[in-house]
A and B are shown apart, each in its own frame.
Chain A
């Protein structure tokens, strides 16, 4: 078992704990202001593009006729098929979200 060198012990004892006494507060006051959240243009761009894409799709699809046709076809499908389709879509979305979250985490940790 290693015994601590007396000099090391004396050096450590000669340097007692220094109380904060407002030091942390002074440091924080000098930091730049925190990043403002929600001021990014990204949400505006995404919503704008989505609306534009929807408008274009509506115009090019003869007033959204394809939606009516699609829904009509869905209503005649057996219930089990509709359930499986919904489950598959849900799993797909969840998987995509998990992959995105995990890749973001590993990017931050690296």
Chain B
């Protein structure tokens, strides 16, 4: 019978079981790394560094995990904080507005593939909208959980999701109805 995340966390807390923590990492590494790759605009090396930092922090602070939300939600919060701290260091917290989005979308020069255009458009969204769309639309996180991860009001999450989706739909509209 497969152990639940709660069982593995208990083993880490009680026995400092590295095997149990390794299993937690294996289960959640794809989601965390995927989120960070999108946030870092596909800088794979940076995303993996931040992902490692995320899991190391999770291990060191595992006693602060209350179990009120899903473990993945808690990890996303740590990952997002890691990203924000790194971006602050790199001073990359500037987003791109609508006009810039329009100007950058040029079907003549855009690489082939709806998927690639979608990811490109996603990378151009302002950080708050990009993060909200990644969490709620791509990773299936509820608006409530996203508000907790990002430490912002629920209404702000909903607004960011709405705006982000509208901008992405403009990009997809160029590909025609599907």
A sample of 9 inter-chain contacts (CB < 8 A) reads A10-B114, A11-B134, A17-B30, A18-B29, A18-B33, A18-B37, A23-B29, A34-B17, A109-B10
Task: Show the binding face of B for A, using Cβ within 8 Å.
Answer: 10, 13-14, 16-18, 21-22, 25-26, 29-30, 33-34, 37-38, 48, 51-52, 55-56, 59-60, 67, 114-115, 118-119, 122, 133-134, 137-138, 140, 165, 168-169, 172, 178
Cβ of A30 < 8 Å from any Cβ of B? yes
Task: Show the binding face of A for B, using Cβ within 8 Å.
Answer: 5-8, 10-15, 17-20, 23-24, 26-28, 30-32, 34-35, 108-109
Our pick among A18, A26, A35 for the contact of B16 (Cβ within 8 Å) is A35
Chain B residues, CB < 8 A from A20? 26, 29-30
Complexed CA–CA distance, A75 and B139 (Å): 73
Chain A residues, CB < 8 A from B37? 18
A14–B51 touching, CB < 8 Å: no
B119–A14 touching, CB < 8 Å: yes
Complexed CA–CA distance, A28 and B52 (Å): 9
Complexed CA–CA distance, A12 and B35 (Å): 11
Quick one: closest A residue to B33, CB to CB?
Answer: A18
Our pick among A5, A10, A23, A109 for the contact of B118 (Cβ within 8 Å) is A10
A24–B115 touching, CB < 8 Å: no
> Given A13-B115, A30-B52 in contact, is the A7-B34 Cβ separation under 8 Å?
no
A7–B26 touching, CB < 8 Å: no
Residue among A10, A13, A17, A26 with max Cβ neighbours from chain B (10 Å): A10
A14–B115 touching, CB < 8 Å: yes
> Given A23-B33, A26-B52, A27-B55 in contact, is the A7-B25 Cβ separation under 8 Å?
no
> Given A23-B33, A28-B21 in contact, is the A7-B119 Cβ separation under 8 Å?
no
Chain A residues, CB < 8 A from B67? 109
- Min distance, Cβ A2 to any Cβ of chain B, angstroms: 13
Complexed CA–CA distance, A10 and B119 (Å): 10
Complexed CA–CA distance, A6 and B168 (Å): 12
Complexed CA–CA distance, A32 and B172 (Å): 47
Our pick among A28, A34, A108 for the contact of B13 (Cβ within 8 Å) is A108
Chain B residues, CB < 8 A from A7? 137, 165, 168-169, 172
Quick one: closest B residue to A19, CB to CB?
Answer: B30
Chain B residues, CB < 8 A from A24? 22, 25-26, 29
Q: Which 8 A-B pairs have the closest CB atoms?
A: A11-B138, A18-B30, A35-B16, A24-B25, A14-B115, A27-B55, A34-B16, A8-B137
B34–A15 touching, CB < 8 Å: yes
